[in-house]
Amino acid sequence: MNAIHTHNLTFGYKNRPVLHGVSLSVAGGEMLAILGPNGSGKTTLLKIFSGVLRGQGELKIKGKNIESYSRRELSQFFAVVQQEARVNFPYSAAEIVLMARASYHSPLTLENRHDLEVARTSMDLTDSLAFADRYLHELSGGEKQRVMIARALAQEPEILLLDEPSAFLDLRHQIQMFELLSRLNRERRLTIVAALHDLNLAALFFPRLVMLCNGRIHRDGAPGEVLTEKTIQDVYGIRVRIEHDSATKKPQLFIRPSVS
């Protein structure tokens, strides 16, 4: 069964169409990156998948129309890591992660031992247990992002959506995060859909890439099929050279500045 299936999905604000007839199927256990320039509709597509925005057209999650789920049901198998976490109040990292358990316990009770265990395991997986008791607003961008991924994992999701999760991370933390995502995908069959800007990292870690351009799917396939010199020229309007790394066999971009 497909984890996510859309047919002819369309979305737009009053005078500004954002998505035109997007048809896409994501199988359970798949790991997929959504690529494309700013304004191509990546974030909008993720927001429609997670039920924050409602588009026109068909959207099925695990074989059922998204409207047939309540928010609470959705949050028990669908987790989202946002571009940037906004926290204006003093919460510790552990408190933030435990919030993931809200849809599992009654609104009138505290988290039980199992909830605490799930939170601890998730923080351990993302290497964030060391600063569990520190306030979130005191953490660095990288530490914060690891807490946010831990929170998403503590929801015990089957599908994980990430909106540019590496935007605020340095190279080492980016690699660590993508390795963690690959591992979760392999070991737990977690379905992962991530909107990304970094084409090289996407090619290295994601077996399937979807290139959006002006709200339409321009290319969909393995890195070798999607990342071609022509596609990049068509979608981003820049000239690049693409070579396949001899070790990973993955395509990598080399950029030629127009002024040099």
Partner 1 sequence: MKVLDRKKLFLVNSILLALLVLSAAACTLLGPVRLDLSQALTHLFSSNPDAEILLRARLPRVLLGVAIGGGMAACGVVLQALLGNPLACPQMLGVSGGASLGGILGIIFFPNWLLPIASGRLGEISWIPLAAFLGALLSMILVYRFSLFHGRLHPYHLLLSGVILNSFIAAVIMFLNSIVDFYQAQGLLFWLMGSLSTRAYLTVGFIWLYILVGFLWLWSKGVSLNLITLGEDAAMYLGVEPGALQRQVFIASSLMIGAMVSVSGMIGFVGLMVPHVMRLLIGSDHRLLLPASFLAGGIFLCWADTFARILLAPAELPVGIVTAFFGGPFFLFLLYREGRRSLGL
Q: Give residues in contact with partner 1 (CB under 8 A).
A: 13, 47, 50-52, 71-72, 74-76, 78-80, 82, 85-92, 94-96, 98-100, 102-103, 105, 107-108, 110-111, 116, 119-120, 123, 132-133, 155
| Minimum distance of partner 1 from residue 92's CB (angstroms) | 7
Cβ proximity to partner 1: between 100 and 211 the closer is: 100
Sign of the torsion formed by the C-alpha atoms of 219, 200, 80 and 84: negative
| Minimum distance of partner 1 from residue 202's CB (angstroms) | 23
Burial grade of 218 (CB within 10 A; 0-12, 13-18, 19 or more): middle
Q: Answer yes or no: are the C-beta atoms of 206 and 32 closer than 8 Å.
A: yes
| Minimum distance of partner 1 from residue 199's CB (angstroms) | 26
| Minimum distance of partner 1 from residue 143's CB (angstroms) | 16
Cβ proximity to partner 1: between 116 and 240 the closer is: 116
In the chain, % helix, strand, coil (3-state, to 5) comes to 35, 30, 35
- Alpha-carbon distances of 216 from 6, 137, 185, 193, rounded to whole Å: 13, 38, 27, 17
Structure tokens at 97: 């992660």
Cβ proximity to partner 1: between 72 and 114 the closer is: 72
| Minimum distance of partner 1 from residue 46's CB (angstroms) | 11
| Minimum distance of partner 1 from residue 90's CB (angstroms) | 5
Burial grade of 188 (CB within 10 A; 0-12, 13-18, 19 or more): middle
Cβ proximity to partner 1: between 82 and 200 the closer is: 82
Strand, helix or coil for residue 199: helix
Cβ proximity to partner 1: between 85 and 139 the closer is: 85
Cβ proximity to partner 1: between 107 and 237 the closer is: 107
Structure tokens at 118: 């799930």
Of 166, 160, 87, 152, the C-alpha closest to 122 is: 152
